[in-house]
């Protein structure tokens, strides 16, 4: 639970117009071996205005198929309209 809050806090700091990766978040919150856990935490986010999970991409810059609102297609829509 506390680890998840660290993840949410970090994602809230991603500036408008920027993206980061699951691996970068994993390193930033102190556990660079768990980017998969970051994916699982962020795919549960319901309020993308409060926690902009759409600004998190894979390490190779691809959109996430685990995005909560429509997978890659949904993430692309959010990035285009709400980056």
Q: Would you put residue 66 in left (φ > 0), alpha (ψ -120 to 50) or beta?
A: alpha
Give helix 35-42 / helix 2-12 axis angle, nearest 10°. 80
- 83 has a pLDDT exceeding 70: no
pTM: 0.89
| Residue with the larger pLDDT of the pair 69 and 73 | 73
Determine the pLDDT at residue 41: 92
The tens digit of pLDDT for each residue in 17-71 reads: 999 999 999 999 988 778 888 999 998 898 988 999 999 999 999 999 888 788 8
Determine the pLDDT at residue 70: 84
């Amino acid at each position: 639970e506390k680890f998840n809050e660290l993840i949410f806090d970090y994602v809230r700091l991603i500036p408008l117009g920027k993206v980061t990766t699951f691996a970068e978040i994993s390193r930033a919150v102190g556990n660079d071996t768990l980017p998969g856990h970051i994916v699982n935490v962020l795919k549960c986010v319901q309020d993308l205005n409060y926690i902009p999970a759409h600004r998190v991409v894979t390490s190779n810059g691809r959109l996430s198929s685990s995005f909560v609102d429509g997978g890659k297609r949904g993430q692309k829509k959010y990035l285009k309209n709400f980056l």
